[in-house]
């Protein structure tokens, strides 16, 4: 019997949230400015900024007070179900 709480394989797996972000090519960053420090976008940031600046409905990036809020706003704008709303495969 092992005295480890989790197996090595369990620890090396991505979390459901991280798997979802990779699946949808979602990226985040903390810009630490007055518009809401966190931003979330799909694909390349420069392309998202060119498409719609901080308007996720125009293809831009979403801004939020927290990383989760920015991701939620982005997901809603793109009609994506979040990692905890998708059906398991």
Note the pLDDT tens digit of each residue in 27-86: 999 988 766 799 999 999 999 989 888 888 898 999 999 999 999 999 999 999 999 897
Cα distance between residue 27 and residue 61, in whole Å: 10
**What pLDDT score does 65 carry?**
92
Q: At CA 87, angle to CA 85 and CA 89, rounded to 5?
A: 145
Query: pTM (2 decimals)?
Result: 0.80
Q: Tell me, what DSSP letter sits at residue 79?
A: T
CATH of the domain spanning 14-78: 3.30.160
For the chain, which residues make up each domain, given as ranges? Answer: 14-78
pLDDT at 54: 83
């Amino acid at each position: 019997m092992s005295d480890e709480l989790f197996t090595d394989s369990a620890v090396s797996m991505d979390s459901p949230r991280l798997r979802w972000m990779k699946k949808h090519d979602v990226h985040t960053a903390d810009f630490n400015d007055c518009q809401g420090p966190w931003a979330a976008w799909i694909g390349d940031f420069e392309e998202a900024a060119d498409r719609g600046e901080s308007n996720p409905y125009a293809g831009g990036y979403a801004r939020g007070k927290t990383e989760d809020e920015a991701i939620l706003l982005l997901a809603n704008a793109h009609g994506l179900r979040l990692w905890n709303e998708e059906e398991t495969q």
